[in-house]
Chains A and B, each alone.
Chain A
Amino acid sequence: MPGRPGNASRGFPGLFRARGAGRGRDPPDRRAAMHALLLRRLLTALPTLAAVVILSFVLMRVAPGGPFDGERALDPATRAALAKAYGLDLPLHEQVWRYLGRLAHGDFGPSLVYRDFSVTDLVAQGLPVSLTLGGLALLLALLLGIAAGAGAAIRPGSRRDAAIMLAATLLTVLPTFVTGPLLVLVFGMRLGWLPVSGWGGGDAAHLALPVLALALPVAGAIAKLTRAGLAGALAQDHVRTARARGLAPARLILRHALRPALVPVASYVGPAAAGLLTGAVVIETLFALPGLGRYFVQGALNRDYPLVLAVVTLYAALIILFNLLADLVYGWLDPRMRG
């Protein structure tokens, strides 16, 4: 790692004590840069969120059709009264303002289709399901991906390396809507080990297949990133020194090379969260799970404006949150960025 001029003058023994010597004494300008980055991310988060909400709002209102186009045509007076009650008769920009104002107070408004529920109720039911699904999938993907990537990087160019990397490429291109049904076919129907659909109160048996289907493509991408990061890290001086001291390859990777190698993985966590949420829409439909994704598609088809907006807002907020989280992990992995 460059940028530690003090160590070289200390001579040979200092080289071995050097690990971690600079910790806690980072140059203040780097720490300030990290703070500035985080602050900028936080400051841009709200406008981004507002932009997504406004864009979705306008898109929905420009689209033909409305929430009250049921099987049976309503008479004009009822329709007008309903529109007035939900504020749909106001000019578009006023509606957007009203919505943003309510949103700032944490009020998602009433559902236009599930008349007995507020959107907050619906979302409060769906969010835990989606979060459990996505969180477990991310965790599984990180574990599988990092382990596979490290396994491949221990002996670069070996047959195992080639096999793992081919498998990782295959996983990244396998869409969840192909792997999902295949997993159901094999483990649910043919072998009969696991239930094929439903939430079942969120027990492990019901979660296993959806989480696996969701995690696999992300795991493939993480394996590729870990492998590439490790290849770079293993070529660095401090790792070469450790290798010269006779450290076993596995120990070498765990103690010295993995942390810097995980920096690209950390920056991938943001996009991965977006991918997981998108994948969850399919997985929730496929496995009949009562998550946000199903509300999203159903809500858009039913023109349930407040419900769709709430889901879009939550998704956007989650993605922004994960990007922030990725920045923090990034700072933890790379001590030069720590604040």
Chain B
Amino acid sequence: MRTPLVLLVLIALAALVGPLLLPWPYDVIDWGAVRAPAFSPGHLLGTDAVGRDLLARALVGTRVTLAVAGAAASVALLIGVGWGAVAGWRGGRVDEAMMRIVDALYPLPFMFVVILLMALFGRSILLVFLGIGAVEWLTMARVVRGQVMGLRERPFVLAAEAAGASPLAIVRGHVLPNLAGVAIAYLLLTVPQVVMVESFLSFLGLGVQEPLTSLGILVKEGADDMDVAPAALLLPGGLLVAILICLTLAGERLRDRLAA
């Protein structure tokens, strides 16, 4: 579990600090160096088709992608944990009704609704993560509900209840701390989903908008230009895949360890 997480932290650090150390900002055109090859003076990995520094763009794109993914996954986490905890704790009819809603939403082609949402209402970054977050909470709700139902019958919860603690205090003091591990594991697994959706939307031109950039936009730009300059595709594509695989491996291992 260590290696993927360490790699992730390194990528995030590079994305955060890296652009500050580079001589050229990500959105400034160097007219003297259009389509510069790698290791040109001032441009470590060369420039794109209009003379913007590739490395700086890739790092800023990573930053934006990670930020959007983190925010969207947090939205999903909040809705999912809230929904699942209430359903699992209350049980009975409430649980039945709430989980029916989740079951009904599960097979809907949400991706299309999100695409629609983005295409129709201007493309603000706020909407991007609200939209994605509102879609990706379902699995989290199911998992959390199952956990809460199990915890509900545990002696320490029953004891707290018998001692007269309020439900809110029990949930906060006893249930949520025991949920944390599983919630983190599924959060790690939700983030790659969200990264994928964000890049997908940006690739179609529906997500993050220029001049701001994200890995999805960079992959799209690189794909348009790959015949002449494959680095413009390989760099953001490689970063994206590295982020996705690290998150997935870390999440799966944490989940399996908690299940064992």
Residues of A in contact with B (beta carbons under 8 Å apart): 44, 48, 51-52, 55-56, 59-60, 63-65, 169-170, 172-175, 177-178, 180-182, 184-185, 189, 270-271, 274, 277-278, 281-282, 285-286, 296-297, 300-301, 303, 308, 312, 315-316, 319-320, 323
Q: Is B184 an interface residue (CB 8 A)?
A: no
Q: Which residues of A contact B113 (CB under 8 A)?
A: 52, 55-56, 59
Cβ of A296 and Cβ of B230 under 8 Å apart? no
Q: Which residues of A contact B111 (CB under 8 A)?
A: 274, 278
- Residue B216 interfacial (CB < 8 Å): yes
Contacts A178-B240, A181-B222, A282-B200 known; 18 new A-B pairs at CB < 8 A: A52-B109, A55-B113, A64-B122, A169-B248, A169-B249, A169-B252, A173-B248, A174-B241, A177-B199, A177-B219, A177-B220, A178-B237, A178-B241, A185-B227, A271-B107, A274-B109, A282-B204, A297-B115
Residues of B with Cβ closer than 8 Å to A? 104, 107-109, 111-113, 115-117, 119-122, 192, 196, 199-200, 203-204, 206, 216, 219-220, 222-223, 226-227, 230, 233, 237, 240-241, 244-245, 248-249, 252
Contacts of A52 in B (CB 8 A): 108-109, 113
A175 touching B233 in the complex, CB below 8 Å, given contacts A285-B204, A300-B120: no
Q: Which residue of B is nearest A316, CB measured? A: B109
Contact A63 B120 (CB under 8 A): yes
Can you list 11 A-B pairs, Cβ within 8 angstroms, ordered by A?
A48-B104, A59-B116, A169-B245, A173-B241, A181-B223, A184-B223, A185-B227, A274-B107, A285-B204, A312-B109, A319-B107
Q: What is the bound-complex CA distance between A319 and B111, given in angstroms?
A: 12
Give A175 to B112 CA distance when docked, in angstroms. 17
Pick from A178, A182, A300, A320 the residue with the most CB of B within 10 Å: A178
Q: Which residue of A lies closest to B203 (CB)?
A: A177
B259 to chain A, nearest CB (A): 13
Please indicate the chain B residues that have their CB under 8 angstroms from the CB of A64 in the complex.
121-122
Contact B206 A181 (CB under 8 A): no
Q: Is the CB of A175 within 8 A of B107?
A: no
**A312 x B116 contact (CB < 8 A):** yes
Say whether A173 contacts B192, CB under 8 Å: yes
CB-defined contacts of B119 to chain A, threshold 8 Å? 297, 300-301
Residues of chain A within 8 A of B112, CB atoms compared: 56, 278, 296, 312, 315-316
A175 touches B116 (CB 8 A): no
Determine how close the nearest CB of chain A comes to the CB of B122; give it in whole angstroms.
8
| Given contact pairs A56-B116, A282-B203, A175 touches B244 in the complex (Cβ within 8 A) | yes
Q: Which residue of A lies closest to B204 (CB)?
A: A297
Interface centre among B107, B115, B196, B244, by most chain A C-beta atoms within 10 angstroms, is B107
> Do the beta carbons of B196 and A175 come within 8 Å of each other?
yes
Query: Do B204 and A182 touch (CB < 8 A)?
Result: no
Residue of A nearest to B119 (CB): A300
List the A side residues contacting B203 at CB < 8 Å.
Answer: 177, 282
Q: Which residues of B contact A303 (CB under 8 A)?
A: 120
Q: Cβ of B120 and Cβ of A59 under 8 Å apart?
A: yes
**Closest chain A residue to B120, Cβ basis:** A63
Q: Which chain A residues border B117 with CB–CB below 8 Å?
A: 59
Inter-chain contact A172/B206, CB cutoff 8 Å: no
**Contact call B109/A181, Cβ cutoff below 8 A:** no
Residue of chain A at shortest CB distance from B106: A271
Q: B17 → chain A, closest Cβ, in Å?
A: 25
Given A181-B219, A297-B206: A175 and B200 interface contact (C-beta under 8 Å): yes
In the complex, what residue of chain A is closest to B246 when comparing beta carbons? Answer: A173
Instruction: Tell me the complex Cα distance, A301–B122, Å.
Output: 10
- Chain A positions within 8 Å of B244 at CB level: 173-175
Residues from chain B with Cβ under 8 Å of A281 in the complex: 115, 204
Given contact pairs A175-B196, A297-B204, A308 touches B116 in the complex (Cβ within 8 A)? yes
Closest CB in chain B relative to A187 CB, distance in Å? 13
CB atoms of B109 and A319 under 8 A apart: yes
**Could you tell me the distance between the alpha carbons of A281 and B230 in the complex, rounded to whole angstroms?**
24
Q: Give CA–CA (A10, B12) in the complex, Å.
A: 65
Q: Which residues of B contact A56 (CB under 8 A)?
A: 112-113, 116
Contact assessment for A189 and B226 in the assembled complex, using a CB-CB cutoff below 8 Å? yes
Chain B residues whose C-beta falls within 8 Å of the C-beta of A178 in the assembled complex = 219, 237, 240-241
| 8 tightest A-B CB contacts, nearest first | A300-B119, A63-B120, A181-B223, A173-B244, A278-B111, A178-B237, A177-B203, A185-B226
In the complex, chain A residues whose CB is within 8 Å of the CB of B241: 170, 173-175, 178
Which residues of chain B come closer than 8 Å to A308, judged between CB atoms?
116
- B242 and chain A: residue at smallest CB distance: A173
A180 to B226, CA, bound (A): 12
B183 shortest CB reach to chain A, Å: 21
- Per the bound structure, the CA–CA distance linking A121 and B116 in Å amounts to 22
